[in-house]
Chains A and B, each alone.
Chain A
Amino acid sequence: MAFNPLVESVPPSGIRKFFDIAGSIANVISLGIGEPDFVTPYHIRSAVMDSLMDGETQYTANYGLIELRREIAGYLSSRFHVTYDPESEVLVTVGASEAIDMVMRGLLAPGDEVILPDPGYVSYQPCVIFAGGTPVAVPTSPENGFVITPEALESAITPRTKAVFLAYPCNPTGAVMPLEQMQKIAEIVTKHDLLLICDDIYIELVYDGFRQESFASLPGMKERTILINGFSKSFAMTGFRVGYICAPDKLLKNPAKIHQYAIMCASRASQVAAIQALKQGRQDNYHDIQVMRDSYDRRRRLMYNALTDMGLACYEPRGAFYLFPSIAGTGMDSDTFCERLLKEQAVVCIPGTAFGACGEGFIRCCYATDIDKMGEAFQRMRVFLSRD
């Protein structure tokens, strides 16, 4: 029996194998996790408990609770100076992951090309393919700070190009994109009349005084930008699965239609949590984010220092909570390095190739990890590297 060829054409996730191996080994230390190590702030959990005790367990509007949409619009306006109408330009989704899928399915026509930087988050390319589009990967490297250059973007554009999909800070590299470069990218996108999809999920997690702007807030860009964000990383709310899409009505109506039929609405309890996160943030200048960001920043320095000290050349990232060191000097490919490191020293890192072909020669290490455990992992990695 033949099944959906688009789905069949996408290979299984590159990290599945490591999951199985890790499950068979004792005392594994994982630097392979892609989520905060903070528990959701207590006041947020408390608000959810109150809501549940009050019997708030029903469906919400397809677009999400209007109170949440207003909070989201207020947050984006105050933090990133871009205004959206909460009535028609904000759609609450089941995490940013659903948002990515809805946007691709809602906006791509068969054969449309979407330009994406490589390496990039694991779900972008599959979502383009599932939606009938064609991903066009543009290589990035430590030499250009792991960001897409205007020249590389320009040369990747064809008559079939529909959109450019960018996410800074970047998972897996931690790269950020400075404002001047964003402006150049925006000019090209406008010149060719393309859409710009920005996944801003890590936008609050930036360090060294850097400020990551959103493409939606650049002059003239809101009209052609689909902004995706969520609560998982900034507020340590991964398990709540709540995110959002913001875009002009004409760009949002298709994703919203699919959401309406396929999902109906995000969980009410999770929406309540999100309201509390933003409400409190508005009142205390996003203290939760500040505390977590400071903690990540310190551990970023610690991991960067340790990795470079053990001889792994490393681009120093200014965002997210990952380092993406080169392991090219070991003579191993990424997959072999990670598999052997796991089997021989019980340390999990993710091979760079899980994030695209340009990830070859790199591994992703997450510093949203307990300091003592990181110290032990570094020790084991030193042993591993010295033996080889």
Chain B
Amino acid sequence: MNDLKQHVLELLCQDCRMPVDQIAVMLGANPTDVSAAIKQMEDDRVIVQYRPVVDWNQTERTFVEAMISVKVTPQRDQGFDAVAKRIGGFEEVRSVFLMSGAYDLLVLLEAPTLKELAYFVSEKLSTLDTVTGTSTSFVLKRYKEDGVMFGEKKEDQRLVISP
């Protein structure tokens, strides 16, 4: 990846709504080159999606989240990839990571109710041939996500004028 793409990504990760013209000015680059870099990264699925970071605690939406550590049997020639994709295919699954340590995969799961989440673990996840064990931890509260702390925005503490 070239420098321009790297720098464009840095700015989009700060604010994915930042206009191309502004990005170009901030990087001292040509707007056409910035547009092309973004398009290329979208095509290459380097940039996969643009989404807000949401503090759901402040909304009416209710749901249950769990982190499930999953022990699996790696498959010949495919290692953990095939089973990770198999698990990731379920719409309840938000994220899947291959982990070091006692368990192999960490699965972040989301379901409308506890009952549905329990059903998913017991009936869909645990029953996969390659899954040999699971350990479920429920998310009680989110404090920080994607580098952003939840809660009230801290006001600028600086004096309005200083020399």
Residues on A facing B (Cβ under 8 Å): 13, 15, 18-19, 22-23, 28, 30, 32-35, 37, 121-123, 171, 294, 298-299, 301-302, 305, 348, 350, 354, 370-371
In the bound complex, residues from chain B placing their C-beta under 8 Å from that of A371 are 15
Majority SS of interface residues in chain B?
loop
Q: Tell me if A35 and B158 are in contact (CB < 8 A).
A: yes
29 CB-based A-B contacts, threshold 8 Å: A13-B163, A15-B161, A15-B163, A18-B161, A19-B161, A22-B161, A28-B160, A30-B160, A30-B161, A33-B160, A33-B161, A34-B162, A34-B163, A35-B162, A122-B163, A123-B163, A298-B26, A298-B27, A301-B26, A301-B27, A302-B22, A302-B26, A305-B25, A348-B160, A348-B161, A350-B163, A354-B163, A370-B156, A371-B15
Closest 4 CB pairs of A and B: A298-B26, A34-B162, A122-B163, A32-B161
| Chain B residues numbered 1-38 whose CB sits less than 8 Å from any CB in chain A | 10-11, 15, 22, 25-28
Pick from B10, B15, B25: contact of A302, CB under 8 Å: B25
B159 within 8 A of A: yes
Question: Apart from A19-B159, A37-B156, A299-B26, what 13 extra A-B contacts exist at CB < 8 Å?
Answer: A15-B161, A18-B161, A22-B160, A30-B160, A32-B162, A35-B162, A123-B163, A298-B26, A301-B26, A301-B28, A302-B25, A302-B26, A371-B15
Considering only CB atoms, which chain A residue lies closest to B21 in the complex? A305
In the bound complex, residues from chain B placing their C-beta under 8 Å from that of A37 are 156, 158
In the bound complex, residues from chain B placing their C-beta under 8 Å from that of A171 are 163
| Chain B residues numbered 111-163 whose CB sits less than 8 Å from any CB in chain A | 156, 158-163
Q: Within the complex, what minimum Cβ distance (angstroms) separates B22 from chain A?
A: 7
In the bound complex, residues from chain B placing their C-beta under 8 Å from that of A22 are 160-161
Q: Tell me if A301 and B25 are in contact (CB < 8 A).
A: yes
In the bound complex, residues from chain B placing their C-beta under 8 Å from that of A370 are 156
Complexed CA–CA distance, A35 and B158 (Å)? 8
In the bound complex, residues from chain B placing their C-beta under 8 Å from that of A298 are 11, 26-27
In the bound complex, residues from chain A placing their C-beta under 8 Å from that of B163 are 13, 15, 34, 121-123, 171, 350, 354
In the bound complex, residues from chain A placing their C-beta under 8 Å from that of B156 are 37, 370
Q: Within the complex, what minimum Cβ distance (angstroms) separates B10 from chain A?
A: 8
Considering only CB atoms, which chain B residue lies closest to A300 in the complex? B26
Complexed CA–CA distance, A301 and B27 (Å)? 8
Considering only CB atoms, which chain B residue lies closest to A34 in the complex? B162
Pick from B10, B15, B25, B160: contact of A32, CB under 8 Å: B160
Pick from B11, B15, B22, B162: contact of A33, CB under 8 Å: B162
Complexed CA–CA distance, A23 and B159 (Å)? 10
Complexed CA–CA distance, A30 and B163 (Å)? 12
